[in-house]
Amino acid sequence: MGAFHEQVRGPAVPTSGSRAVQRPLGVGEVVITGGPLGRRQEVNRAASIPLGLVQMERAGSLPNLRRAAGTEGGEFQGYRFQDSDLYKQLEAVAWEYGRAPAAEYEEFVDEAARVLAAAQRADGYLNSHYQVVRPDRIYAELEYSHEMYCAGHLFQAAVAAARVGVGEELVAVARRFADHLVEVFLRGGDDGIDGHAEVESALVELYRLTGEGSYLELAGKLIDNRGKGLIKDSGMGPLYAQDHLPVREADTPVGHAVRQLYLEAGIVDVYLETGDESLLECSVRRWEDMVATKTYLTGGVGSRHDGEAFGERYELPPDRAYNESCAAIACVHWNWRLLLATGEGRYADLIERVLHNALAASTSADGVRFFYVNPLQRRSDLAEDAYLGRRRDWFACACCPPNIMRTISSLGHYVATTGDRALVVHQYAPGVIRSGEFELSVATDFPWDGRVTFTVERAPEREWALRLRVPAWSAVTTVDGLPATPDGSGYVALERAWRPGDTVELGLDLTPRLVHPHRRIDAVRGSVALQRGPLVYCFEQADQDVDVEELALSPEAELRVLDKDDLPGVGRTVLIETDALAITQPGDGLPYLTTPVAPLATGTHVTATAVPYFQWDNRDGGAMRVWLPLA
């Protein structure tokens, strides 16, 4: 570890010249020690990442690169974007190294960097698929080639590795590839754009790491190039890859969800560094439309299986919700940048919703099985369905598992920021938050319990503010037992000359509540869901005495909280129990009747039990529903 590493260590985003109103903390400045987020990090390190490392060989990512280097034989394995799995895995390993150094992680990064350097062409180009299989088609089919997409993930892996001090060779490889992209697509005047946005944000990150302005410039150009018809139609139409309109003109997220969301992250990143307000404005406009009309209760987005895409406004079916795990991750990236750009708590609210629900559900309690698709309902028949079945240990198209791993390894990034003489806490988990002269310890059993106690461990002499987010779901919030009202941004500010040993207790309202859908959401009309704090609940067959498809709730039913130390298969949880009706309706002939349903249906009184959505599918693989009909 020499000068190189000292030089590049620092905060994730952004650096000087930034328009950010809040600044991220540095690597290692947040430590999560417990709760579901901490538990997830433990399992990620103990089970998920070892599985991922095995797959880098088995699924072909490293062998493909050795083939490109000429040091291994055999046929190219997997998809044309197979390299990106390795890059995400490298990023996960790097952030894990930052959390707790381990020699095997450093060796993996070094070894991968050597393979990459050997595979990389002299001109900087690097993509095992195109080098091995179709060298004649390099940059010739950008609409689906994923060449820049893979480059972007390489850049992000290099930035992560550099920040934790293990990435010198990886950064060199990344820079050579970035320089090649600049040569071809910025200096060379080639107007191509990648069909899968991702490189835009990564280029800005590499600019932040290296100070090389051409990376930022290229990111801006690639964003400005959208909507010019540069992406040839590959059968999905121009919406698919967000090439239907210039980014400043589009009003709503469309097409392939992960592409749209990574693109938005890039758009806000370019705004953060250039101050181009028109970029922030258009992105916020689409965010507001997405949140109001295209977001699931779990924070999941991208409702369509067909094209892995955003649907129309209010098209939010619970059963066929696609909600790709990668879209949840990309959504966090975007919201994080909007939070830095504006300081508005609504973005942290959505991050919380995604982290505790849509994203959290993507991985099994034991960390070795993953969902690619995250529906809000699973019926009991046809569980063998390829996508709607249970979590799987890997996928032919394995974009999600290593993406989940890198996100879990870096959860600490999203906990807090610094503002003007302020430490701002966005997410609640037990642990430690440091920033320069300040150090806080956080004690809480959140989200099982609503009390969060902050203890000042170190503090400067002068006054500073502790700003604490008040989630929109908290009906009654207290600070040290007294009612507290958030400011317009959704935070309570406690401005004091803090002293070591000072404590403050935030009290959030975890009363379970029924949630009703907007009347335009056709797919869940006449239904309700349960939430407690940030957690969305669901009814799994495993917890019911009757067919979960027959359950119906009364809006007046009492909701009873049941603390469980260790529910078998699930672990620590809080269940919600309520009185319900089990209603059956005869079904003979077509399911359409000229008589209203109610007189035909008979109900019996039963108890229904709900489990947090993020803990579903850890038992028997039976039916599940987030939304239940009103009785």
Which of 91, 143, 147, 308 is labelled catalytic?
308
Within residues 66-85, the interface with its own copies by CB under 8 A covers none
Q: Write 13-16 long-range contacts (CB < 8 A, 24+).
A: 13/204, 13/205, 13/208, 13/269, 13/272, 13/336, 13/337, 13/340, 14/204, 14/208, 14/269, 14/272, 14/273, 14/340, 15/208
Provide, rounded to whole angstroms, the least separation between the CB of residue 312 and its own copies.
4
What is d(CA 99, CA 452) in angstroms, rounded to the nearest whole number? 23
Give the residue with the Cβ less far from its own copies, 148 or 250. Answer: 250
Give the residue with the Cβ less far from its own copies, 281 or 463. Answer: 281
What is d(CA 223, CA 203) in angstroms, rounded to the nearest whole number? 12
Within residues 195-254, the interface with its own copies by CB under 8 A covers 235-237, 239, 244, 252, 254
Cis ω on the peptide bond leading into residue 447 (within 30° of 0)?
yes
Q: Is 400 a catalytic residue?
A: no
Within residues 497-516, the interface with its own copies by CB under 8 A covers 513-516
- Of positions 3, 122, 382, 482, contacts its own copies by CB under 8 A: 382
- Of positions 379, 392, 564, 572, contacts its own copies by CB under 8 A: 379
Give the residue with the Cβ less far from its own copies, 202 or 297. Answer: 297
Neighbours of 138 (CB within 10 A): 17
Provide, rounded to whole angstroms, the least separation between the CB of residue 625 and its own copies.
9
Provide, rounded to whole angstroms, the least separation between the CB of residue 99 and its own copies.
32
User: Which range in 24-32, 60-68, 122-130, 517-525 contacts its own copies by CB under 8 A?
Assistant: 517-525
Within residues 541-580, the interface with its own copies by CB under 8 A covers 549, 555
Within residues 579-618, the interface with its own copies by CB under 8 A covers 583, 585, 587-597, 601
Closest by CA to 416, choosing from 63, 76, 31, is 31
What is d(CA 411, CA 343) in angstroms, rounded to the nearest whole number? 19
Provide, rounded to whole angstroms, the least separation between the CB of residue 380 and its own copies.
8
Per DSSP, the three-state class of 603 is strand
User: Which range in 8-16, 402-410, 520-528, 564-572 contacts its own copies by CB under 8 A?
Assistant: 520-528
Give the residue with the Cβ less far from its own copies, 402 or 490. Answer: 490
User: Which range in 196-204, 383-391, 434-442, 502-510 contacts its own copies by CB under 8 A?
Assistant: 383-391
Closest by CA to 347, choosing from 358, 359, 361, 332, is 332
48-61 burial, b if ≥16 CB within 10 A, otherwise e? bbebbbebbeebbb
Give the residue with the Cβ less far from its own copies, 121 or 346. Answer: 346
* Residue in the structure block whose two tokens are 């503090």: 459
Q: Is 282 a catalytic residue?
A: no
Query: Residue 179 phi/psi, 5° resolution?
Result: -65, -35
206-237 burial, b if ≥16 CB within 10 A, otherwise e? bbbbbebebbbbbbbbbbbbbbeebbeeeebe
258 in Cβ contact with 302 (< 8 Å):
yes
By CB atoms closer than 10 A (0-12, 13-18, 19+), residue 114 is middle
- Of positions 64, 418, 527, 609, contacts its own copies by CB under 8 A: 527
The C-alpha R_g of the chain, in whole angstroms, comes to 24
Q: Is 291 in the site for its own copies (CB under 8 A)?
A: yes
- Of positions 295, 342, 357, 544, contacts its own copies by CB under 8 A: 295
User: Which range in 22-30, 120-128, 169-177, 518-526 contacts its own copies by CB under 8 A?
Assistant: 518-526
- Of positions 386, 483, 558, 605, contacts its own copies by CB under 8 A: 386
Q: Which residues contact 116 (CB under 8 A, 6 or more apart)?
A: 65, 126, 154, 170, 173
Query: Residue 520 phi/psi, 5° resolution?
Result: -80, -15
Provide, rounded to whole angstroms, the least separation between the CB of residue 94 and its own copies.
33
User: Which range in 97-105, 376-384, 440-448, 613-621 contacts its own copies by CB under 8 A?
Assistant: 376-384
Provide, rounded to whole angstroms, the least separation between the CB of residue 61 and its own copies.
20
- Of positions 89, 293, 323, 418, contacts its own copies by CB under 8 A: 293
What is d(CA 624, CA 317) in angstroms, rounded to the nearest whole number? 14
Q: Where are the alpha helices (DSSP H) in 190-231?
A: 199-210, 213-224
Give the residue with the Cβ less far from its own copies, 167 or 375. Answer: 375
User: Which range in 123-131, 215-223, 363-371, 375-383 contacts its own copies by CB under 8 A?
Assistant: 375-383
Provide, rounded to whole angstroms, the least separation between the CB of residue 137 and its own copies.
18
Give the residue with the Cβ less far from its own copies, 290 or 492. Answer: 290
* Token couple for 628: 């239940």
Which one-letter amino acid corresponds to residue 226? R
Give the residue with the Cβ less far from its own copies, 33 or 584. Answer: 584
Give the residue with the Cβ less far from its own copies, 5 or 346. Answer: 346
71-107 burial, b if ≥16 CB within 10 A, otherwise e? eeeeebbbbbbbbbbbbbbbbbbbbbbbbeeeeebbe
- Of positions 524, 535, 538, 542, contacts its own copies by CB under 8 A: 524
Give the residue with the Cβ less far from its own copies, 9 or 379. Answer: 379
Within residues 299-358, the interface with its own copies by CB under 8 A covers 304-306, 311-320, 346
Within residues 392-421, the interface with its own copies by CB under 8 A covers 396
Q: Which residues contact 435 (CB under 8 A, 6 or more apart)?
A: 25, 29, 416, 418, 423
358 in Cβ contact with 538 (< 8 Å):
no
Q: Which residues contact 406 (CB under 8 A, 6 or more apart)?
A: 88, 89, 91, 92, 95, 160
Which of 150, 282, 399, 538 is labelled catalytic?
399
Give the residue with the Cβ less far from its own copies, 139 or 314. Answer: 314
* Token couple for 14: 């952004």
The contact mask relative to its own copies for 455-484 (x = CB under 8 A, - = no) is -----------------x------------
13 in Cβ contact with 369 (< 8 Å):
no
Provide, rounded to whole angstroms, the least separation between the CB of residue 501 and its own copies.
39
Question: With contacts defined by CB under 8 A, how many residues of the chain interact with its own copies?
Answer: 71
Within residues 244-263, the interface with its own copies by CB under 8 A covers 244, 252, 254
* Token couple for 459: 């503090």
Residue 25 DSSP class:
P
Which one-letter amino acid corresponds to residue 18? S
The contact mask relative to its own copies for 18-37 (x = CB under 8 A, - = no) is --------------------
Provide, rounded to whole angstroms, the least separation between the CB of residue 346 and its own copies.
8
Catalytic positions, please?
308, 399
